[in-house]
RNA sequence: GCUCGGGUGGCGGAAUGGCAGACGCGCUAGGUUGAGGGCCUAGUGACCGCUUUAGGUCGUGCGGGUUCGACUCCCGCCCCGAGCACCA
């Protein structure tokens, strides 16, 4: 909807809220100011004179960003411009920022996220969309609990304080949200439903408890999911070296969804390829075969628990080259396998030594150690007896924890076989037929022809793979299988500040889920934080002691809480029914509003949060809670803002420890939020990293002041110029050119904002348009056509600028005679007629080098253009004495004369 | 090793196969000012030339190729960044 022009200045002055100062006050302030700075000169004097002459009411020459910004922030709030009625989803646009953790203070790097999101939301509103932009808090988490241990302040108190501080910062940035939908994950009205979803997952077998070797963070005193351990074996959050511990823990069965999580990536056209590739890597699907190698029975007659050892391989084609088998040191049943044998002690020692290695040492490619178990297995393809080893290069977590070793065709097996002098046998020959064990210096891992593998010899190895797997299946000792790298998501945390896992342990009934009607399991507030880091829930009798919901006998509550990534895996549904105490998600609303149209956040969540949220959405779909299967239709990951550290001159992402944090507060005080926003968006392509440069902020400030001053200078006649007719047909060349430039700019800026968010080039285009505007001399006495185009252009500049610098745009929109809010105005439309040119400039090239340029009629035909080009003086000079071979004419662009 | 990005002035960065360096920062000169700041004007890739007239050569990590024409497409390298990685 667009606001029809209401009237000229009079109405504008009364409908647009004034800056709040009476003229008398301004006079006094100015006089005082001039006494202190008697030479301030022009600017102050001009304002003074203007006021005295009664020329202006409220507009100042100086750009009063402070007053404007607070005024409009208040206005947007008071008028509910970001409140959205979700009962209607016509032209819906769900624009979501990633759930922020309330750390307390935001820096300009965080700001990039909110500013991009706000610019998108404002643009979409002006395009007529029903935009939903909610905000909330990922409010559970360790930093608050660790702080409580140090300072004694309860995490809830510090968290709520941080939330209030961050809300103030977001407001100061001019970012608008539908605060009525705010959700806070640490409050019972939210975590009740996190617990409820846990119960639903439990009912479906997707939440389960098992004893497993898990990642233990000795600093944070809790277990971690695989996704929260960095490749170097340190904890993503605390930086501590992660240890392996056998513990009984809660998991979510995300592996059940591995294939769907992989397949559906293809549907996500609106996601960056990079993120999809990262998820694909993480899921790590590999196709291969599982083959059972029967154990050669023990000589002492004791039976083995399992008669065969299964192993997974992607290279079943090389199985005739298998000369030994290796088990992981943690292989279950290993002790029984070697019990009573002469190798028992050696194996036990080896397992202990390997267990002492850190995750890094174990998983870094390098020296491989192992020991013979004294046992043998049979290769089912050729009935050969091969030795069974234990080796530290075999991981229990991948495949079956057992590897068939083919040293001739696997680099790791090669190294191991060389070290322990194990036999090596060729089973793949290279295409040249030149492979020879005597001369080989490394494993041959490429393709070739299967050899010495009856009945498969002579087959190209790729073709042999399915045939050999089928053979195993037929004979009953194996089959083709798909293996994933993705493991189940470990969600237990031995910490206080999280959603309690709603489970009760009863000596009689065992593990009993808390009945739905008893939710939420509330976190007790009267707790003591101990320096040991132990969860206060462990020692809290009122919390722990509970009677079993089944039998009424005394039971004990689970004292672990859930990983905070559980909270953030479903919050985007909760925004749609944030205050609903009867259900987690209102299905009708979710079906109308989901998926999120645009999700905006940091690349650091490419795997963790985004994978978990996709899993939750699919699980919720399968439970019949929601229709959608993918939560985020379009994902935009903005690059980090870095800054050179004063300490070592290197570029880092902003962090307190590097001393390179830029706070928005001081910048907003000095330049205003609009300047900070404009600079943040102009700094570079938003998906890429960008280096913060304080000098660049000045440029943005200068530009906004320039726009302000144009409106100020012409404020006397601009609003009235609205009634002047605009007719490109009768314009003089200069206005015609400006008018064309205006519409070219609208076209370009709109294109830059649709799809890819090219804010940097969009802003550059507005700047160019302003430069063109300044080339037109204008005043109240200028011809009507000039004033009309000038006004039209300046007004468009204000509209085009408004998603980026909304406060100044609102203010100038008022000065141009419009009623607020500019958010309700229409985005400028391209006038095709304005783009038309009668004459175009064409570049003249000779052999691809620019030699001149000519003006030709826009509709000139090929022959006419060619003739004009060849007649050009410069072209003549360069083709003189040469033979013209070819003349290429690119209509409206250039002519290239090829000569020899 | 595999996968994905990227390499363009002093700097951040622009360029549906068609004028390389838009826009901004910085810098230089001039104007306004008592001065400073601010603002305005002009210039600003390198090299050569232009004392009246001005243009030329080179240039987008390196080497090839396709094309009338390549920052852009293809092939082979080098370097930087990110993710995964003793994954069988």
A851 CA, B49 C1': Å apart: 17
- CA-to-C1' span, A358 to B78 (A): 36
Distance CA A596, CA A589 (A): 12
Nearest residue: Cα versus C1' of B17: A890
pLDDT on residue A122: 98
Can you tell me which residue has its alpha carbon closest to the C1' of nucleotide B14? A761
Question: E strands of A127-275, at which residues?
Answer: 130-132, 136-137, 183-184, 207-217, 222-224, 243-252
Å from A796 (CA) to B72 (C1')?
A: 33
Q: Which nucleotide is nearest to A276 (CA to C1')?
A: B4
Domains of chain A: 91-184+570-638 (3.40.50.620), 193-253+488-565 (no CATH), 286-483 (3.90.740.10), 660-836 (1.10.730.10), 839-899 (3.10.20.590)
Using alpha carbons, list the distances in angstroms from residue A32 to A21, A44, A48, A60, A500: 16, 11, 12, 17, 62
Q: Which residues pair with A854 in a beta bridge?
A: A842
Distance CA A640, CA A691 (A): 9
How many residues in total does chain A contain? Answer: 900
Nucleotide B71 C1' to residue A848 CA (A): 16
What pLDDT was estimated at residue A388? 96
Measure CA to C1' and name the residue nearest B81: A689
- Asked whether A501 and A250 are in contact (CB, 8 A), the reply is yes
CA A175 to CA A171: how far, in whole Å?
A: 6
What Å value separates CA A286 and C1' B56?
61
Longest dimension (CA), chain A: 114
Q: Point out the nucleotide closest to A690 (alpha carbon to C1′).
A: B12
User: What 3-state class would DSSP assign to A684?
Assistant: coil
Report which residue is nearest nucleotide B87 when distances run from CA to C1'.
A398
pLDDT in tens, A215-255: 888 888 888 888 888 777 778 788 888 887 888 899 999 99
The ipTM is 0.94
Distance A810 CA to B44 C1' (A): 37
How far, in Å, are A493, A718, A749, A775, A801 from residue A766 at the CA level?
Answer: 51, 19, 8, 15, 7
Q: Which nucleotide is closest, CA of A774 to its C1'?
A: B40
Task: Report CA(A148)–C1'(B21) in Å, whole number.
Answer: 54
Protein residue closest via CA to C1' of B13:
A684
Structure confidence at residue A468 (pLDDT): 95
Q: Nearest protein residue to B40's C1' (by CA)? A: A774
Closest residue (Cα, C1') to B34? A39
Nucleotide nearest to A683 (CA to C1'): B12
Dist. CA A116–CA A600, nearest whole Å: 8
Q: Looking at the C1' of nucleotide B56, which residue has the nearest alpha carbon?
A: A851
The pLDDT assigned to A341 comes to: 87
List the one residue out of A562, A553, A539, A540 whose CA is nearest residue A504.
A553
Instruction: Please name the residue whose C-alpha is nearest to the C1' of nucleotide B70.
Output: A848
Mean pLDDT, to the nearest integer, of A797-813? 97
Report CA(A446)–C1'(B76) in Å, whole number.
21
pLDDT bin (cut points 50, 70, 90) of residue A17 is very low
Structural contact between residues A841 and A855, judged by C-beta atoms closer than 8 angstroms: yes
Nearest residue, CA→C1' of B11: A693
Nucleotide nearest to A767 (CA to C1'): B23
Whether pLDDT at A742 is above 90: yes
For the segment A669-707, what is each residue's pLDDT rounded down to a tens digit? Answer: 999 999 999 999 999 999 988 888 888 899 999 999 999
- CA(A778)–C1'(B30) in Å? 25
Burial of A763 (0-12, 13-18, 19+ CB in 10 A): buried
The distance (Å) linking the CA of A762 with the C1' of B56 is: 36
Nearest nucleotide from residue A369 CA, by C1' atom: B86
* pLDDT bucket at A442, cuts 50 / 70 / 90: confident
CA of A292 to C1' of B88 (A): 15
CB atoms inside a 10 Å sphere around CB A288: 18
A222: its two tokens:
């809790």
Angle at A504 between CA A500 and CA A510, to 5 degrees: 145
* Amino acid A502: pLDDT: 97
Rounded, the Å distance between the CA of A739 and C1' of B6 is 38
Nucleotides in B strand less than 7 A from protein CB: 3-5, 11-16, 18-20, 22-26, 33-41, 56-57, 68-70, 82-88
Distance A706 CA to B29 C1' (A): 23
Kindly report, residue by residue over A695-739, the tens digit of the pLDDT.
889 999 999 999 999 999 999 899 888 888 888 878 888 889 999
Neighbours of A702 (CB within 10 A): 10
In angstroms, rounded to a whole number, what is the distance separating the alpha carbons of residues A352 and A465?
37
Q: How confident is the model at residue A2 (pLDDT cuts 50, 70, 90)?
A: very low
- pLDDT category at A46 given cuts 50, 70, 90 is very low
């Amino acid at each position: 909807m667009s606001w029809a022009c209401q009237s000229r200045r009079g109405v504008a002055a009364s409908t647009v809220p004034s800056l709040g100062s009476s003229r008398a006050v301004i006079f006094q302030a100015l006089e005082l100011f001039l006494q202190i700075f008697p030479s301030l000169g022009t600017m102050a004097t001009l304002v003074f004179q203007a006021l005295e002459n009664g020329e202006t009411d409220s507009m100042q020459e100086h750009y009063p960003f402070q007053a404007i910004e607070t005024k409009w922030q208040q206005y947007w709030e008071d008028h509910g411009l970001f409140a959205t009625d979700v009962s209607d989803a016509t032209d819906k646009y769900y624009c979501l920022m990633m759930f922020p953790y309330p750390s307390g203070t935001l820096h300009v790097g965080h700001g990039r996220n909110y500013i991009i999101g706000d610019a998108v939301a404002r643009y979409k509103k002006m395009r007529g969309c029903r935009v939903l932009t909610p905000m909330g808090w990922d409010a559970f988490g360790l930093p608050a609990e660790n702080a409580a241990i140090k300072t004694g302040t309860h995490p809830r108190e510090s968290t709520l304080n941080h939330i209030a501080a961050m809300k103030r910062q977001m407001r100061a940035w001019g970012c608008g949200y539908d605060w009525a939908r705010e959700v806070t994950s640490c409050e019972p009205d939210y975590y009740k439903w996190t617990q409820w979803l846990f119960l639903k997952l439990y009912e479906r077998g997707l939440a389960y408890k098992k004893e497993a070797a898990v990642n233990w963070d000795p600093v944070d005193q809790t277990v971690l999911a695989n996704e929260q351990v960095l490749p170097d074996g340190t904890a993503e959050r605390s930086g501590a070296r992660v240890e392996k511990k056998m513990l009984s823990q809660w998991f979510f069965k995300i592996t059940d969804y591995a294939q769907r999580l992989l397949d559906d990536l293809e549907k996500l056209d609106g996601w960056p390829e990079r993120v999809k590739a990262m998820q694909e890597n993480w899921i790590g699907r590999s196709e291969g075969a599982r083959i059972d190698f029967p154990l050669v029975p023990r000589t002492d007659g004791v039976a083995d628990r399992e008669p065969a050892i299964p192993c997974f391989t992607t290279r079943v084609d090389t199985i005739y080259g298998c000369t030994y088998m290796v088990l992981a040191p943690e292989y279950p049943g290993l002790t029984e396998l070697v019990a009573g044998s002469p190798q028992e002690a050696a194996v036990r020692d080896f397992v202990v030594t390997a267990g002492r290695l850190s995750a890094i040492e174990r998983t870094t490619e390098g020296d491989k150690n192992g020991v013979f178990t004294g046992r043998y297995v049979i290769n089912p393809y050729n009935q050969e007896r091969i030795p069974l080893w234990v080796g530290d290069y075999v991981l229990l977590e991948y495949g079956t924890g057992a590897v068939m070793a083919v040293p001739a065709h696997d680099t790791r097996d090669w190294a191991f076989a060389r070290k322990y002098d194990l036999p090596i046998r060729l089973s793949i020959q290279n295409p040249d037929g030149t492979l020879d064990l005597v001369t080989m210096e490394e494993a041959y891992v490429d393709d070739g022809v299967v050899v010495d593998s009856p009945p498969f010899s002579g087959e190209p190895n790729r073709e042999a793979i399915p045939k050999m797997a089928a053979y195993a299946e037929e004979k009953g000792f194996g089959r083709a299988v798909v293996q994933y790298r993705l493991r189940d998501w470990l969600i237990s945390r031995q910490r206080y500040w999280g959603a309690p896992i709603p489970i009760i342990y009863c000596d009689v009934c065992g593990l009993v889920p808390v009945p739905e009607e008893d939710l939420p399991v509330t976190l007790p507030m009267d707790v003591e934080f101990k320096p040991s880091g132990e969860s206060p829930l462990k020692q809290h009798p009122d919390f722990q002691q509970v009677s079993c919901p089944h039998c009424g006998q005394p039971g004990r509550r689970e004292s672990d809480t859930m990983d905070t990534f559980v909270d953030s895996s479903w919050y985007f549904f909760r925004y749609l029914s944030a205050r609903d105490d009867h259900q987690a998600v209102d299905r009708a609303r979710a079906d109308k509003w989901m998926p999120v149209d645009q999700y905006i956040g940091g690349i650091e969540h490419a795997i963790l949060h985004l994978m978990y949220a996709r899993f939750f959405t699919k699980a919720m779909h399968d439970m019949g809670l929601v229709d959608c299967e993918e939560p985020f239709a379009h994902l935009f990951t903005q690059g980090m803002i870095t800054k050179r550290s004063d300490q070592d001159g290197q570029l880092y992402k902003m962090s307190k420890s590097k001393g390179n944090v830029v706070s928005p507060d001081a910048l907003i005080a000095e330049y205003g939020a609009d300047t900070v926003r404009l600079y943040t968006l102009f700094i570079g392509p938003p998906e890429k990293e960008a280096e913060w440069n304080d000098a660049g902020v000045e440029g943005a400030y200068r530009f906004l002041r320039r726009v302000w001053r144009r409106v100020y200078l012409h404020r006397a006649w601009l609003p009235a110029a609205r009634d002047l007719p605009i007719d490109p047909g009768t314009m003089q060349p200069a206005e015609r050119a400006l008018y064309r430039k205006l519409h070219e700019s609208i076209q370009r800026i709109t294109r830059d904002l649709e799809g890819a968010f090219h804010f940097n080039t969009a802003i550059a285009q507005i700047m160019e348009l302003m430069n063109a505007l300044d080339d037109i001399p204008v005043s109240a006495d200028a011809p009507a056509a000039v004033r009309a185009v000038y006004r039209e252009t300046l007004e468009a500049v204000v509209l085009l600028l408004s998603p980026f610098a909304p406060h100044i745009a609102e203010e100038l929109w008022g000065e141009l005679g419009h009623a607020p809010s500019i958010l309700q105005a229409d985005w400028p439309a391209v006038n095709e007629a304005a783009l038309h040119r009668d004459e175009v400039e064409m570049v003249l090239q000779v052999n691809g080098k620019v030699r001149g340029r000519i003006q030709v009629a826009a509709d000139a035909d090929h022959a006419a253009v060619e003739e004009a080009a060849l007649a050009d003086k410069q072209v003549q000079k360069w083709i003189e004495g040469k033979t013209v071979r070819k003349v290429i004419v690119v209509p409206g662009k250039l002519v290239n004369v090829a000569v020899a």
